[in-house]
Amino acid sequence: MKMNTIIKFLAVPVLLMVMAGCSKDKLEEINENKNNPVDLPSRLLVTDAITKTAFSITGSDFAFYASVYTEHNVGIYNQMYNAEIRSGEPSLATTYNNTWGSVYETLYNLKIIINKTSEDGNEAGNFHTLGIAQVLTAYNLAILTDLMGDVPYEEALQPGEIFQPKLDKQEDLYNEVFSLLDAGIANLGKESTAASLGGQDFLYGGNADKWTQFAYGLKARYTARLAFRNGGKWADVITFANQSFTSAANEAKFVYDGSTTNSPFQTFFIDRDYFGASTSLHNKLVDRNDPRDATFFIPYPGKDDVEFAPNGSPDQVQGFYGISGIMSPTAPTYLLSYHEIEFLKAEAYARQGGVSADAETAFLNGLEAAFAKVGMELDSTYVVDEALRLFTANPLKEVMVQKYLSFFESEAVEAYNDIRRMKAMGENFITLDNPNNATKFPLRFTYGADDVTTNLNIADAYGNGSYIYTEKVWWAGGTR
């Protein structure tokens, strides 16, 4: 009786309550994720694919290190100093790891967008978003292989399924880049069933024509890139470039507002302060009486004069050397600039026929845009006395040098690509002054540590990292 009472009044209700409280349905309901969505429309994904491509991948670490190797800046502190003196950083797997991760993260999200908007996806018919995702995929893949050579792609981007993706050859990756661009152009040309991306597209506001121009511009850039391997398809470069930007208005430029979005080089200065004004770049500008010298370099805040840092052997000290004068919280990141298109065209014409009207027009358009980029008007004295004089003497050289100058400093990756391509082609138009280059010019960037430590294929390819001083990428004459 007493036992019955206790069981009836205490144990039974408690147990019944508890049994109901641990059913599979109940437990699953408790574990419902209230903080994150499990699915989203593609328009909410494409925005950050663009932002990451611009800020993290094009604009930040890759560009910072490239600006040291191309002597746009001198690394005067910590990691950038190490890069400058070629100690550690250039061959460490940790150096580019963050951006390596950003590229694959972005490629994975682009893959999700492509899957959603392709035939079997839940947004089939959203051709413009599909085309944009394809163009961005091509762009990111090209950056990755340009800097790192052979990288995983075919087996990549399958989390939880393939843990150690194999490397694909750079040649195959470039074929993929071109086919993605072609597919992207085709899709951008179709009638899309979905509403325009509008404000979700920070680059072009959902304008398919502008994206198409961007895609053609990329075809021009990458066709030129392979010049050493394809014998120089300069007519193609011109054809593609002609279908690209016709003015700076449509160039692929990511704009920062200085509050919610901040320009990478400016933020890098505020947060790190690792760069000094480059003696090498300064000398190149001074040699040609280039008026941009006074714009490119300013004294360190609070100082009166620009102290130039010697390339390769600066003192590791902050607050001493001059700094870049074109940094600002709103300085844009160029995915593909109008001046690059014009210089590509000028290079193609110059390679086809030396001095020509077409070459000169493109050259001067590029030069004007390069000056406009840094808020200057092209002055005729400089054009006549310097630029055209040098152009006439050696059109190809002057085009490449002006292109190099125009890339200061956020387009340093493209300057780095050009320097390596020209070396492969036996051209030494741009002299680099860092004495460490005698034995240690970084021919490429290392793979990211996240793969070096977890993917044996990458670990093998990375070895001890010293390959970056000895092995060129395929398009620059190497094997991988």
Partner 1 sequence: MRKITFLLVFFLLAGVNFAFAQTRTITGKVTSSQDGMGIPGATVLIKGTTIGTTTSIEGNYEIEVQPNHRTLVFRYVGMSTQEIPIGDQSNINIVLEPDVLQMDEVVVTALGISKERKALGYSVQEVSSENLTRSGSSNLSSALQGKLSGVEIKPSSGMPGASSQIIIRGARSFSGNNTPLYVVDGMPISSTSDFSTGNSVTGADIANRAVDIDPNDIESINVLKGQAAAALYGIRASNGVIIITTKSGKGNKTGKPEISFSNFTSFEQVSRAPDYQTKYAQGSYGMNIPNTSFSWGPEISKLPDDPTYGGNSQGHPGMYFVPQRDQAGLDPWVKPQVYDNYGDFFNTGYTTTTSLNISQATEKGNIAFGIGNSIQDGIVPSTGMDRWNAKAAGETKLNNFWSMGFSANYSRTSIDKLPAANDASLAGVYSAPPNYDLAGTPYNIPTDPYKQIYYRSLTFDNPYWGAAHNKFTESTDRFFGNGFVEYSPYISENMTLKTRYQLGTDSYTSHYQDIFEYGHKGSIGELNNYGVSSQTVNSLLTVNYNWKINSDFNFTALVGNELYHRNRKLYDEYGTGFNFGGWAHMSNAKIQQADESQYQDRTVGFFGNLALDFRNMLFLNITGRQDYVSTMPRDNNSFFYPSVSLGFIITELESLRDLPVLSYAKVRVSYAEVGQAGEYYPNFFSAPNYGGGFWGATPIQYPINGISSYLSNNVQYDPNLKPQNTQSYELGTELKFFSNRLGIDYSYSNQLVTDQIFQVPVAASTGAAALVMNGGEIKTDVHEIMLYATPVIYQGFQWDFNVNFSKINNMVNELAPGVESIFLGGFVTPQVRAGIGSTFPVIYGSSFERDASGNILVVDNPGAWNHGMPVDGAPGVIGEVSPDFILGFSNRFDYKGIALTATLDWKSGGQMYSGSNGLLDLYGVSSLSGDREETFVFEGVKPDGTPNDIVRGGPNDPDAYQDLLTNVLTNIDEYYIYDNSFVKLREVTLSYAIPKRLLNNVQLTVSLYARNILLWTELPNFDPESSQGNNNMGGSFERFSMPQTTSYGFGVNLNF
| Nearest distance, CB of residue 45 and partner 1, angstroms | 6
| Nearest distance, CB of residue 169 and partner 1, angstroms | 15
* Nearer CB in complex with partner 1: 260/381: 260
- HSE-up (13 A, CA, CB side) for residue 440: 17
Burial group, residue 123, by CB count within 10 angstroms (0-12, 13-18, 19+): middle
| By CB under 8 A, residue 142 contacts partner 1 | no
Pick out residues in 62-101 that bind partner 1 (CB under 8 A).
Answer: 64, 81-82, 85, 87-88, 92-94, 97-98, 100-101
Q: Are 413 and 63 in contact (CB under 8 A)?
A: yes
Instruction: Provide the mask over 34-63, with x wherever binding to partner 1 is found by CB under 8 A and - wherever it is not.
Output: xxxxxxx---xxxxxx-xx--xx---xx--
| Nearest distance, CB of residue 97 and partner 1, angstroms | 7
Binds partner 1 by CB under 8 A, chosen from 228, 240, 245, 268:
268
- Which letter does DSSP use for residue 309 in this model? B
Binds partner 1 by CB under 8 A, chosen from 437, 450, 471, 472:
450
| By CB under 8 A, residue 33 contacts partner 1 | yes
| By CB under 8 A, residue 330 contacts partner 1 | no
| By CB under 8 A, residue 294 contacts partner 1 | no
CA-nearest of 89, 76, 83, 82 to 310 is 76
| By CB under 8 A, residue 458 contacts partner 1 | yes
Binds partner 1 by CB under 8 A, chosen from 123, 124, 162, 372:
162
| By CB under 8 A, residue 310 contacts partner 1 | no
Binds partner 1 by CB under 8 A, chosen from 227, 240, 455, 476:
455
| By CB under 8 A, residue 190 contacts partner 1 | no
Pick out residues in 375-434 that bind partner 1 (CB under 8 A).
Answer: none
| By CB under 8 A, residue 305 contacts partner 1 | no
Q: Are 326 and 339 in contact (CB under 8 A)?
A: no
| By CB under 8 A, residue 30 contacts partner 1 | yes
What region does 23 belong to: left with phi over 0, alpha with psi -120 to 50, or beta? beta
* Nearer CB in complex with partner 1: 49/227: 49
Pick out residues in 2-21 that bind partner 1 (CB under 8 A).
Answer: 2-3, 5-6, 9-11, 14-15, 17-18, 21
* Nearer CB in complex with partner 1: 313/392: 313
| Nearest distance, CB of residue 356 and partner 1, angstroms | 44
Pick out residues in 272-291 that bind partner 1 (CB under 8 A).
Answer: 272-273
The CB density around residue 228, as the number of other CB atoms within 10 Å, is 19
The CB density around residue 332, as the number of other CB atoms within 10 Å, is 18
Binds partner 1 by CB under 8 A, chosen from 109, 212, 250, 434:
109
Q: Which long-range contacts (CB under 8 A, 24 or more apart) does 220-225 make?
A: 220/244, 220/341, 220/344, 220/345, 221/336, 221/340, 221/344, 221/414, 222/142, 222/174, 222/177, 222/178, 222/181, 224/344, 224/347, 224/348, 224/421, 225/142, 225/146, 225/174, 225/417, 225/421, 225/475
- Structure tokens that stand for 100 in this block: 């390596």
| Nearest distance, CB of residue 140 and partner 1, angstroms | 12
The CB density around residue 229, as the number of other CB atoms within 10 Å, is 16
Q: Are 115 and 133 in contact (CB under 8 A)?
A: no
Lookup result for tokens 């690509």: 417
| By CB under 8 A, residue 202 contacts partner 1 | yes
| By CB under 8 A, residue 172 contacts partner 1 | no
**Which neighbouring-strand residues pair with 151?**
168
Cα separation, 230 vs 117, in Å, equals 34
| By CB under 8 A, residue 134 contacts partner 1 | no
Give the CA-trace dihedral at 456, 453, 441, 225, to 10 degrees.
60
The CB density around residue 448, as the number of other CB atoms within 10 Å, is 25
* Nearer CB in complex with partner 1: 56/213: 56
Binds partner 1 by CB under 8 A, chosen from 122, 158, 246, 289:
158
| By CB under 8 A, residue 28 contacts partner 1 | yes
CA-nearest of 146, 56, 141 to 97 is 56
* Nearer CB in complex with partner 1: 55/371: 55
